């Protein structure tokens, strides 16, 4: 049995108030051979990714926090800014760092308007 390092951990999002802010096609930014930045779509298993920006109120934390994640499933139609959404789980997080910036990235299976799912939500 191989032992692998922990590279992401599950997150309990019970009680989080998550609101969608914006969405856009997910792109990977890389430098080409000439040193120019090139954007290519992020694709997983033939499905184009969508970047989702959210604002979250997290129990026990005074200020709201911003979240950004990439979905590889369609997002529900009609989600306007500040619509409360549920994160379809499990919700996973991992640290990232580049230069002087750092944070957590999140991976979720999907999002949906609050109160519409019979599927398991992260942390529930």
User: What 3-state class would DSSP assign to 87?
Assistant: strand
pLDDT at 116: 53
pLDDT at 124: 47
Q: What are the structural domains of the chain?
A: 9-26+38-113 (2.40.50)
pLDDT at 115: 63
pLDDT at 105: 86
Omega prior to 90 cis, within 30 of 0: yes
CA dihedral (11, 14, 15, 17) in degrees, to 10, reads 60
Chunk the chain into consecutive blocks of 10 residues (it has 124) and report each block's average pLDDT, rounded to whole numbers: 84 93 92 92 92 93 91 85 90 90 89 66 48
Pick from 3, 22, 17, 1: which is nearest to 123 by CA?
Answer: 17
């Amino acid at each position: 049995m191989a032992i692998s390092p922990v590279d992401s951990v599950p997150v309990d999002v019970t009680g989080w108030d998550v609101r969608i802010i914006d969405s856009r096609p997910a792109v990977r930014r890389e430098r080409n051979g000439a040193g120019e930045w090139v954007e290519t779509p992020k694709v997983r298993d033939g499905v184009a990714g969508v970047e989702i920006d959210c604002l979250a109120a997290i129990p026990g934390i005074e200020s709201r926090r911003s979240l950004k994640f990439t979905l590889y499933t369609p997002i529900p139609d009609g989600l306007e800014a500040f619509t409360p959404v549920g994160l379809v789980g499990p919700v996973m997080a991992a640290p990232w760092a580049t230069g002087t910036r750092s944070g957590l990235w999140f991976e979720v299976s999907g999002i949906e308007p609050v109160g519409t799912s019979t599927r398991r939500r992260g942390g529930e």
